[in-house]
A and B are shown apart, each in its own frame.
Chain A
């Protein structure tokens, strides 16, 4: 597979590992922000091949993991309504709310469908004028443009039976919240490459300056991740803090301007609760005044639903790198991949699920 295999080349990877080993003289804690990067790190076993001094902290960039319990409960309430066809990306279906997950709603008679594109939901709304079609719009700046387009499309078509349950979140406020935390251990960031391909890199310069923390825009293939780590370590070892772009083949400084334009039109900033972390001011998007009619929270009157997180689950501290998953008292006991308390145990790249697997392996090895 051209354009992918080139970024998985074992010889080049070994060269990068050697270079990282050569320049590392002290312990460093680096956070990869995006869930896609965490997936690559686990999927290719990158973390095990790094020098022991390099600690990778899996950041809050998995949209499945950070979608708050409350929002899942809203989704469950809407999906259970008989007139609703509830559409979602696949991996949201197994995330537990406080009373089960979307699979369970489906099993109880709810019409829950997996879609690959939000535009499929619009098509469905056209095909089923007698039903209410709701799309679960989650994710970071990466998935937002397609969701914004979908709402614009629905408006153009005058669809009255389409709406979106919006739970969009933004990377820069999360980085700010992590750096503001008094217990913050993160010394450098691998910024999420695909988020930056949409938004550009200008939002990160002020963070670098304010917190004196290196931020390296990084891609998702093994060589991309290694190059991001190498550049971050090089800065840390030199005592520098700069914004660098190690994913120039996809990311330009200004980003994707037409996408930004449509985002500004369809969404407006709002406070958002992050699962396990709590409320971060202006850290997400909701539909703007102009498109508010497509807001599923208002249409189905689920705004009042409020849910507290499990007191046992400490995924918030895990997501901030404050504790290792196996330091949580529920880890491997009340909380396992089969009985997850928090979303970090649900998705295969969630920090807790990954730890659970490797812990079992290392116990035997």
Chain B
């Protein structure tokens, strides 16, 4: 009998001997790659914490260090470009440890035939996003691959930030009793991308929520530093984020489905396509696990910030069912909100 929870085979390749798209979906397959290939190969305690960024003690300073790659198609979409994503995505990974982001690097993999004007437009947007966020793009690299070997441009950014003394915000710090907050409406980025990619049109055009979150985090910390865990629900959406924190902290998470803010257009698009908004990507939202007594102060601070106007409490942390996320449904039932195996697939029926 195979106990899958305690399964430690170095080759997680029972189903797939080659990489499939699901390995990049932010679900169980992605987690298996990290757990069974990268962690054993790289072996170190810093990586093993699996935060959005690594925490490093260098001299007297505490640094947050993170990297992220961007392969979005199309390169330009309503509400942003691959350039905005590349800058804000890494800023957000740093911000989720409470860090003040300072410096970014950018690596470009360009496909032969990409119009220079497109690259220039992307670079311009990156510069603007960095200035807007108060970070500096200080180093970079460029490579070109043959036509047909890339989607125009892939970007990898890495970033360094400084973590204020005494602060410890990490995915394993959530505690029973914590309240769970989300900073605004979910599902916008993923559905905006999907609507342009699939040529779907809705009454109101869906715009990506792409935005840098470090200033929102600083505002929250100023209101009350008793914040235990932060994460931006990108790939895999809110569901993946809640599950990751529940697992890392060894706690259960209970949410009230009706409390989760979902724009009407996102709900309508998801209904039509047979998708669940809980699994759709966001690029300008965060989920916060906050000590109960700090909850109201942090919520008020979020609502006073332009990126947290629709912030709300969506649930709580419990000691029961560790590692699991359970939602109270609109009609009063319960359902388990699990991590997906790979990518979310539209349902036929």
Contact = CB atoms under 8 A, between A and B. Distances in A.
A1 interface: yes
Main secondary structure of the interface of B (DSSP, over half): loop
Given A10-B330, A339-B14, A364-B321, A64 B267 contact: no
A357 B338 contact: yes
A39 B347 contact: yes
Contact of B320 (A43, A347, A365): A365
A49 interface: yes
Interface string A311-333: 00000000000000000000001
A336 interface: yes
Interface size class of B (residues with CB under 8 A): 35 or more
B336 A139 contact: no
Contacts of A339: 4, 14-15
A46 B252 CA distance: 22
Given A8-B330, A108-B18, A364-B322, A42 B335 contact: yes
Interface in A1-37: 1, 4, 8, 10, 13-14, 34-36
Contacts, number: 133
A13 to B, nearest CB: 4
Contacts of B4: 336, 338-339
Interface size class of A (residues with CB under 8 A): 35 or more
B128 interface: no
A143 interface: yes
B331 A44 contact: yes
A215 B2 CA distance: 42
Nearest to B257: A44
Contacts of B336: 357-358, 360-361
Interface stretch (B19-27, B137-145, B172-180): B19-27
Nearest to B321: A364
A91 interface: yes
Contacts of B165: none
Contacts of B267: 1
A106 B20 contact: yes
B342 A94 contact: yes
B331 A334 contact: no
Nearest 6 CB-CB pairings of A with B: A45-B333, A90-B345, A364-B321, A13-B331, A90-B346, A357-B336
Interface of B: 1-2, 4, 14-16, 18-22, 28, 198, 200, 252, 264, 267-268, 271, 273-274, 320-322, 324, 326, 329-336, 338, 341-342, 345-349
Interface of A: 1, 4, 8, 10, 13-14, 34-36, 39, 42-49, 61-64, 89-94, 100-101, 103-104, 106-108, 114, 116, 138-140, 142-143, 222, 333-334, 336-339, 347, 357-358, 360-361, 364-365
6 contacts: A13-B332, A45-B329, A46-B333, A103-B16, A104-B20, A108-B18
